[in-house]
Structure 1
Amino acid sequence: MKKLFLFVFAFCTVLMAQAQMSPRFGIKAGVNYAGLEGDDAGDNDRIFGAHAGVFVSLPLVEDFFSIKPEALYSMKGAESQDDDFELKLNYIDVPVLAQINAGPLYFEAGPQASFRVSGKIETDLGSTDDLEDLGYKSFLFGYAAGIGLASAPLGLSVGVRYSGDASKITDDDDTKIRNSVFMLTLGYMFPSR
């Protein structure tokens, strides 16, 4: 994990040195609508969760194109249709997004690393938070893409994003299940212009 953060920091430093434009920092929070997808996901229902974190916008072409690394605490999981099974997974998501601004509208997409910090399985028979023994991975690689509206003078933004995993959530070779999350986000970037 330290190597990933060091790589992101070095990458952003090089980009900023070339661009010679001021970075802008921000905070964001919102709602997740999380579920599971894949060949073995079954007919599980999505669950609501939340996300919150920080980001930095590194402009490469002023007011048009920027790179935006983020660090978000994000709640994911799913539940069975008859409510006798619920999977709750909590991650630190680190997307590194390319963002294109078209007036107040913006588009973003890029890779994402996810580090599981906790999790719990609840059934009618009881619950467990020992997911390592059940084969749940602590690191996943994925992607994120979204669209939103931003007001540069106010520093406020609202956006929708889809976040998915390219890697399976378990080590089991016979089970193909991945996280699938729709996100509604409110953000504030400072200093606002």
Structure 2
Amino acid sequence: MIRLFDFMFALLGLILGFPVLLVLVLIGLFDTGSPVFCQERVGRYKRPFTLIKFRTMKKDTASVASHLANASAITPFGRFLRRTKLDELPQLWNVLKGEMSLVGPRPCLFNQEELITEREILGVLRARPGITGLAQINDIDMSTPRLLAETDHKMLENLSLVAYFKYIFLTVAGKGAGDRVPGKH
């Protein structure tokens, strides 16, 4: 049932959001010259997939988890995208393709070995990664691997349609800080 909602909402979001996506791409072209950011992430069953986001950092920024990134790498437009969570919109394509869900554990990088191990132990990697979830609305990020994996596990154990819609609503309403980068921005 959740996959059906994922598909419908992602398709609807991409169709209705197309004008917004187009404007953000154009602004991003002027901001960084390369508005879309693609990165290999850990998917369901630990399979790699290419995550798509709007670029929020300078093009030459090292590919590391947000909590390890340098705040000075974030562009002014990138700050806006992160604050409004609009940088996540292109991930609707990942949801449409079935690589992600709207709600699930945030997909990590393959070099985040401690988090991957913790998630494997708790069975979190059996679920599709998500755009948002319990950890995101509670400001738990990848800097605390064990707590994040435990929170992801708790979310997945109790994921119902009501919880699914609750996490989406709270995210859209602005709860949670998004991917944090050291230093206030």
TM-score by length of structure 1 reads 0.29
Query: Which structure's CA Rg is the greater one?
Result: 1
The structure with the greater share of residues assigned to strand is 1
Q: Which structure has greater helix proportion?
A: 2
Higher relative contact order (CA 8 A, sep 6+): 2
